[in-house]
Amino acid sequence: MKTRLGMRTHLTALAVALATLPVLLGTGKAHALTIVVGDEAIGSTDLPDSYRLNSGAKLTATGAQLLGVDMNSDSTLVLDNSAVSSTTSDGVAVANGGQVIVGNNSTVFGINQGLSLQRSGTHGSSAQVSDSRIEGVRVGVGISAESQLRLDNSEVVGSGAGSTAIRLVGSGQLDASGSRMVGDRHGIQVYADPTLAGGARIDLDGSHVEGVTGSAILVGNAALPPTLVDISLVNGSTLKGGDGVLLDVQGLSTANMRVDASHLVGDVRVEAGSSANLDLDNNASLTGKLDNVTSLALAGASQWHMTGDSTVGSLSLSDGSVHFGAATDYQRLTLGGLSGNGTFFMDADFVTGQTDFLDITGVAEGDHSVLVGSSGSEPVTANALHLIHAAAGSASFSLLGGPVDIGAFSYELVQRGQDWFLDASGGQASTGTVALMGLHSAMPTVWYGELSSLRSRMGELRLSEGNAGGWMRAYGNKYNVAAAAGAAYQQVQSGFSLGADAPLPFGDGQWLGGVLAGYSRSGLNFERNASGDVDSYYLGAYATWLDADSGYYFDGVAKLNRFDNSADVTLSDGTRTKGDYRATGIGLSAEFGRHIALQDGYFIEPFTQWSTVHVKDKDHKLDNGLKAEGRDVGSLLGKAGATVGRTIQTDGGGTLQPYLRLAYVHEFADGNQVKVNGHRFDNDLSGGRMEAGAGIAATLSDRLQLHVDLDYGKGSKLEQPWGANVGLRYSW
């Protein structure tokens, strides 16, 4: 044995003799024990040894190897880039008042406990561990009542079978920042001290606690007095239990856990007679089952995601939410009481009658929102599903975001006494239904929007004096469709057309014929966060005739379209569903009128136009199962009006022809129906509206003409706030 007295008194011969004696006797290896009295320092050149620190002594180890340290009261141990390894007992055992400072990649290992913080009376010990590792085969660190452990960026491991990383007793305290604590059985065990009252405290900041085969934190023991512990988890701290339990409270004990800006996954299990109070704040979340939890508070946008039927004594919500698990995993939440203001995310199946259920056995207060999961499946019968019951109180529940989309309709939450039902006895068209209806009715509007640019093109042809040529057009239109038409939406269309024409070699010599091709894209915005697109590709042929003597004219168009339709729908529960399909349409238009020349280049052109479109629609659906039966879409449009303008000769030999147009339009087709999930809905754009337009056609040279046209229309079901097209023609 060696004794270190300030300047090291080496008893080398005696130490060697004591160390080698067991070997000489055939009993294996041995090492000396060094007793430290006063302040001592060891380093990398010192042989591995065991140390005992007398009361008030201090040992500083830098880059050293130690075989175990026993510390008496009020002694100090500093480990700097050093290693302690004991194969006989605790790595470091700290008596009352002792202090351990471990840092700079140091390691401590004990065959029993890696680090043992002990007490005498109310006089505990303490340890500060940074950037280091503590390991014990049975317990990583044992913290007695009145003792304290501080961990910074460190790891504590219980490595033996059934071991615990941290054992916290009585009024002991654990503060961990950026650290990791893992035990083979439990991460942290908290027990009462039979001889000293007081509660324990655990503060975790950005730290992880894990029980590989057991719970993350176990509180209480039936063989000991009830345990009290306050637990705080902040800044992304996590708990993981190999048995799925993050907090297990036993033995009539009490655990108060505060979770701030952290996300926990696992169950909370509370034995009968024990209690657990959970407080989540600042976007914290808990995913797991709560079994017999005394109270739960959710504030600051915090969330609880249920994974099974749960029981909570009282639930307080302040901008918090409860989620009832997966859409097809229906669960029951039983509350002793409810208060505050929050949101419940639930699911219901009208086909099977299954629902999540909220049962409040006591008093329910506050104003709460309910978000029920949407579905494309259709209810078998118009029944009502029971979602919520409250034994007493003045709580109110309403649907978040409005009616719930289920199948073809949307349904309301109806209160009957102290119960709330999702009622399917009536309802309005669901968001998905509105989108499918809108796509169905938009295709004729797309067709007519493309035709308007061609009609103005023909007016320009009559200025070309029968020359062959090619042309191009760019156009845009906006339409507002009223709810009275079946589905309210806004449509914005943009596109272009290309074509060529020439005098026809038959007839009276006053006919021109041509071909065209083009593309347009229409963006549709429906009510309640749904949108759609219609991509239209088309080919066509046209002819125009003008009798120079009488002024009579005729314009005819035939056009074949392929419509690529797509819908993107945000349902009432915030989920998205999509669908796309193709359809083919064909349409004809014929306009007859007369160009009447007046004095000074003025003219008037009364006209009538008749157009018809037929679209062969197909069965189509959204990916949530909502299905629309393909019904053909038809339109018959009649128009009567007049164009007035003036032809002005320019100094360069060209012409300008500004004009105004006014017409009455009537849609005769009123039978465009859509069947969604077997329910019939009407798309009815029938009725009249007024149209007004203005434009200018210009002949810039013998070969080049330019045209600009603006349109506006207004009716009870369809409004065109604006329409515009511009183009040019080159003659050869």
Tell me the DSSP string of 404-452: EEETTEEEEEEEETTEEEEEEEEEEEPHHHHHHHHHHHHHHHHHHHHHH
What is the H or E stretch that residue 55 is in? Answer: none
Give the H or E element holding residue 179.
none
In the block, tokens 């280091």 appear at 132
Give the tokens for residue 261: 């800006």
- Name every residue whose Cβ is closer than 8 Å to that of residue 564 and which is 6 or more positions away in sequence: 534, 535, 536, 537, 580, 582
* The 3-state secondary structure of 457-513, one letter per residue: HHHHHCCCCCCCEEEEEEEEEEEEECHHHCCCEEEEEEEEEEEEEEECCCCCCCEEE
Q: Are 567 and 622 in contact (CB under 8 A)?
A: yes
Average of per-residue pLDDT values in the chain:
88
Cβ 620 vs Cβ 581: under 8 Å = yes
128 contacts 98 by C-beta, under 8 angstroms: no
Q: How many CB atoms sit inside 10 A of residue 362's CB?
A: 14
C-beta atoms surrounding 328 within 10 Å: 10
Type and span of the H or E element at 721: strand 718-731
Give the amino acid at 544: T
Query: CA end-to-end span of the chain, whole Å?
Result: 117
The answer to whether residues 538 and 561 touch, using CB atoms and an 8 Å cutoff, is yes
By the 8 A CB rule, do 719 and 713 touch? yes
Q: Is 135 exposed, middle or buried (0-12, 13-18, 19+ CB in 10 A)?
A: buried
Tokens for 698, please give them: 């210009």
| H/E run at residue 454 | helix 431-461
Nearest to 569 by CA among 629, 492, 626: 626
* Ramachandran area for residue 444 (φ above 0: left; ψ -120 to 50: alpha; else beta): alpha
Angle at 15 between CA 14 and CA 18, to 5 degrees: 85
User: Residue 266 in contact with residue 288, Cβ under 8 Å?
Assistant: yes
pLDDT in tens, 305-364: 999 999 999 999 999 999 998 878 899 999 999 999 999 999 888 777 788 999 999 999
User: What does the alpha-carbon distance between residue 277 and residue 254 come to, in Å, rounded to a whole number?
Assistant: 8
CA-to-CA separations, 257 to 225, 276, 518, 606, in angstroms, rounded: 20, 8, 67, 83
SS3 at position 549: coil
Cβ proximity of 455 and 647 under 8 Å: no
Cβ atoms 64, 42 nearer than 8 A = yes
663-701 in b/e burial notation, b at 16+ Cβ within 10 A?
Answer: bebebebeebbbbbbeeebebbbbbebebebebebbbee
For 130-152, the DSSP string reads ES-EEEESSEEEEE-TT-EEEEE
592-645 pLDDT, tens digit each? 999 898 999 899 999 999 999 999 877 888 888 888 886 788 889 999 999 999
Paired residues of 644 in beta bridges:
604, 660
User: Torsion angle, CA of 300/305/308/312, rounded to 10 degrees?
Assistant: 0
CA–CA gap between residue 57 and residue 51 (Å, rounded) = 11
- Identify the CA nearest to 498 among candidates 537, 525, 440: 537
Give the residue among 728, 395, 347, 236 at the shortest CA–CA distance from 571: 347
Cα 533 to Cα 522: distance, rounded to the nearest angstrom: 6
**pLDDT at 610 (0 to 100):** 94
- d(CA 528, CA 626) in angstroms, rounded, equals 17
Smallest CA-to-CA distance from 374 within 403, 343, 333 is with 403
Mean pLDDT, range 35-48, rounded to an integer: 96
CA 244/CA 318 separation, integer angstroms: 28
Per-residue model confidence (pLDDT) at position 485: 58
Residues in the chain: 732
pLDDT of 621: 82
Q: What are phi and psi of 583, to 5 degrees?
A: -145, 160
Give one word for 391, left, alpha or beta, with left for phi > 0 and alpha for psi -120 to 50.
alpha
If you search the block for the tokens 């009223």, which residue do you land on?
482
Phi and psi torsions of 13, nearest 5°: -60, -45
User: Residue range 439-465: average pLDDT?
Assistant: 70
Q: Which residues, in sequence order, are bridge partners of residue 678?
A: none
The string of DSSP codes covering 336-387 is S-EEEEEEEEE-B-TTT--B-EEEEEEEB-SEEEEEEPPBSSPPSS--EEEE
Confidence band, pLDDT 50/70/90 cuts, at residue 469: confident
Q: What is the mean pLDDT of residues 665-684?
A: 81
List the structure tokens of 337.
Answer: 């009481």
Among 3-12, 374-383, 555-564, whose mean pLDDT is lowest? 3-12
d(CA 92, CA 126): 12
Contact present, 294 and 273 (Cβ < 8 Å): no
What pTM did the predictor assign? 0.75
pLDDT tens digits, one per residue of 98-139: 999 999 999 999 999 999 999 999 999 999 999 999 999 999
In the 3-class helix/strand/coil scheme, how is 524-541 assigned residue by residue?
EEECCCEEEEEEEEEEEE
- List, in sequence order, every residue forming a beta bridge with 169; answer none if it has no partner: 191
Question: Has residue 12 got a pLDDT over 60?
Answer: no
Contact 277, 298 (CB under 8 A): no
Instruction: List the single range of 434-443, 513-522, 576-585 with lowest mean pLDDT.
Output: 434-443
Tell me what the mean pLDDT of segment 552-578 comes to: 89
Give the least confident one: 280-284, 488-492, 551-555, 628-632. 628-632
**pLDDT higher than 70, residue 525:** yes
Using the 8-state DSSP alphabet, how is residue 658 labeled? E
pLDDT at residue 17, rounded to an integer? 35
What mean pLDDT do residues 445-449 have? 88
Task: Return d(Cα 644, Cα 603) in angstroms, integer.
Answer: 6
Pairing of strands 173-177, 148-152: parallel
R_g of the chain, CA atoms, integer Å = 42
Residue type, 486: G
Residues forming beta bridges with residue 364, ordered by sequence position:
338
Report the distance separating Cα 614 and Cα 494, nearest Å.
Answer: 22
Region of poorest pLDDT, from 61-70, 260-269, 411-420, 669-678: 669-678
In the prediction, which pLDDT does 382 show? 59
Write out pLDDT tens, residues 76-106: 999 999 999 999 999 999 999 999 999 999 9
Two tokens, residue 711: 């349109």
Residue 105, Cβ neighbours under 10 Å: how many? 14
417: how many CB neighbours lie within 10 A of its CB?
7
